[in-house]
Structure 1
């Protein structure tokens, strides 16, 4: 009756699956996969925002007009472009470099304004167009050197504009500086043009960050007002590496009237589209794509395909921009709508760890599960072997009692094990071995009793 009850208890501990062993086998694999997914989300950029902010220039400036074109192109992809006005290139650079103005993402900045602090915080998405400095002046005869403007009244652009910075640089190279005999006024754009028309200034320095093409065309066709030609353009470009020499061929403005009457030369920095280093790669692609559509055509000042250009100047080209110029947009963004490509891109972040870790890991579960259950059975064999060896050393009566008690403890622990039914064969083999060791202990005990005292 006792043996029957023991057998019933042993059968009750046989189960289809050892859930504890299964959990301890699968758990680490699931945990590693979950950590991999979390790490992917941590290191991979989040989904691109649907709104970005660009800082441009004064209302009506070329910078502002260019930003408006970008806005229409980005809107086709469901991205809203907020345009902020500014005083010009220098103002743009200062605000982009200011960490407290974190809402500004990109901006137009002309060459020659580089600041050490800004180089550490900003990337370039490429040069997007030339920005020539146009000097209009009133004179009966052509002015051939900038030094000839000494002692006159000049409009050199407002504070914060790139126009003002470049004007002061060019004038200083010719011995003209603030505080001297030359009257330098902070006028730009339409105000500078009107002051020239009203005979309030003798010359006006105009550039795209403060003036518009219509304003410049108006001055170009006004009798008595001339456009300055940089006869020393090669010298300026050699001294100031950010400047480029541009040629305006004879008659380019009007062939019938032969305007200009001879070849003219201008100097121009290039304008770079600068971005903060946390700009999302997908938005970087969209902005460069917009720049190609807006600036990629041939004009009087550039060849087709000349801009945007990844040529590294004062700021490093961003890795995302360099990748775009080298191989174009990624497969997803090239073949799917922007919003769908972004969704799929983020979904892949989850699936990659699953494919790489979870699927191979789950294939190993049966083997690991078998090893775990089997190891729980096999560890008792080490104790049985040690106990049997002790019994073979002819122990005394007290030691045999201790060995038998240890064997009873082993058998009790084995009976309490929960073993899957599929391992019942190994379980019963273990019990047979326990019985075998018990018989050896009994046989040794009988031999000890029969041995002569």
Structure 2
């Protein structure tokens, strides 16, 4: 059996050095110690206080401000089944895709919407208002996001064809509920034709559903309706009813010129039903535009979303409009929103065009608070070191005054016996005192500069003392 003879040299076992893991508190203490040694305790505390104060202000600003876009919106629309109510539902569906919840409030029509928007006690953000509804109302608190559609006025009547609106004088006219756009416009048009209350003409304002039934039952002679306050199903029913005629505004051009907020509209032959040829001829109508009105202070992001929805809903071609005709930036009685101006010029803001709505809202809120504070913090962080350096330099500069005094006395009393020796002793005391000054490493240049100048003054005094054959005191550094 073979025996292995191992060498007798000692074997050393080398273990890897264990890595010391510092706790966050230890890391903080080590970092603060290094910063204090380099820049001084005062500067570190000043900079830390500024940064901490800035962070606290940012957090407070984020908590208090409402820069982020709201996720809820309230629209005042119109009666159930009306064009306004159906439009509000479509807006609700579109905004829901972006995470915005839309609450729809039924109303009596355009004028009711305007009153709600003007009443600060009402929780309403936007609403549909017809042109010409403002009258003498104070609308400084409202903004228009633009016109979104035409709203034609339709006059249905029984019996023989009537070419002029003045032909309805002395008859029973249903002009819509008080507070609706139909009611106000009908009164204005009838007045232009010499028809006023009390001249034998009966003006009624029954509920829309009953009004249609009243016309069908021959209880009224004519019915004025608009889509803001009347169900589209009822309008369709009237158009398909025999012996019920749709009034042709042969003077549409004149109405549009006499009344600034009215537009001439043409309902083409067969536009409502090609198979039944309804209407049988091109029919001239008139009507105002519908404006999307918001309260002042509506968030720009919500304004953009509403206009995006308006483009999707109203941008398609229809009976009375071309593709892309609406929404349009057109100012009427209510001033235009600056955000609407921006949107029509360049579209949605970059932030909301690039990021999802909820994320863009958070970023917008953060930027609205952080950017102003950062602009304030940057100068503060620059000024703090300068002030701290000035404080240290002020403490050092006072010794330069002592050096100046010593030099002046040395020149003025050069011939006085023992004066140079006295000044050298004073300078030695100054040097000893300066040597005990402690400054942060970052400001060591100031101290070493002073000590260099002390040595310069000493060398001059020693030279003067040597030339005068005076005993020179020993250098404290020796």
- For the residue of structure 1 that corresponds to 2:139, the secondary structure is helix
SS at match of 2:39: coil
Deviation at 1:418, TM superposition (A): 3.5
The Cα offsets for residues 398-447 of structure 1, whole Å up to 9 and x where unpaired, read as x99x99999899779756743124544643553565587689999999x9
Report the counterpart of residue 89 of structure 1 in structure 2. Answer: 110
Q: Distance in 2 between matches of 1:440 and 1:134?
A: 110
- Residue 19 of structure 1 is matched in structure 2 by 41
Q: TM-score, normalised by structure 2?
A: 0.78
8 Å CA contact 1:138, 1:225 repeated in 2 = yes
Distance 1:409 1:164 in 2: 102
Question: Cα distance 1:422–1:226, how it changes in 2: closer, same or farther (>3 A)?
Answer: closer
How far is 1:39 from its partner?
Answer: 12
**What do the CA deviations read for 1:28-64 (whole angstroms, capped 9, x no partner)?**
9759977996999799961111111111111222111
After TM superposition, the structure 1 = structure 2 runs for residues 3-402 of structure 1, keeping only pairs within 5 Å, are 15-24=37-46, 26=47, 30=51, 46-101=67-122, 103-139=123-159, 141-349=160-368, 352=371, 373-374=392-393, 376-390=395-409, 392-394=411-413
Distance 1:339 1:143 in 2: 57
Partner of 2:8: none
| Conserved? CA contact 2:248–2:283, under 8 Å | yes
Q: Distance in 2 between matches of 1:226 and 1:425?
A: 100
**Corresponding residue for 1:5?**
none
CA contact (8 A) 2:316 2:322 kept: yes
Does structure 1 conserve the Cα–Cα contact (< 8 Å) formed by 2:43 and 2:384? Answer: no
Residues 225-277 of structure 1: per-residue CA shift (max 9 Å, x gap): 11111011111000111101011122323334433222210001000000011
User: Which has the bigger relative contact order, CA under 8 A and spacing at least 6?
Assistant: 1
Q: Compute the displacement of 1:326 (Å).
A: 1.4
Q: What SS does the corresponding residue of 1:214 show, helix, strand or coil?
A: helix
Deviates more, 1:158-167 or 1:29-38: 29-38
From the superposition, tell whether residues 137 and 362 of structure 1 become closer, same or farther in structure 2 (CA, over 3 Å): same
8 Å CA contact retained: 1:152, 1:183? yes
Larger radius of gyration: 2
CA distance in 1, matches of 2:137, 2:391: 59
Q: 1:249 to 1:331 in 2, by over 3 A?
A: same
User: Deviation of residue 87 (structure 1)?
Assistant: 1.3
Unmatched 5+ stretches in structure 1: 1-13
Indicate whether 1:430 and 2:450 are aligned: yes
Specify whether residues 373 and 188 from structure 1 end up closer, same or farther in structure 2 by C-alpha distance, changes over 3 A only: same
Taking structure 1 as the reference length, what is the TM-score of the superposition? 0.82
Is the Cα–Cα contact under 8 Å of residues 392 and 444 in structure 1 kept in the other structure?
no
* 2: CA distance, partners of 1:100 / 1:383: 75
- RMSD (CA atoms): 4.1
> Do the aligned residues in 2 keep the contact of 1:158 with 1:188 (CA within 8 Å)?
yes
For 1:384 and 1:196, locate their aligned partners in 2 and report how far apart those are by CA, in whole Å.
111
Cα distance change, pair 411–234 in 1 and its aligned pair in 2 (3 A)? same
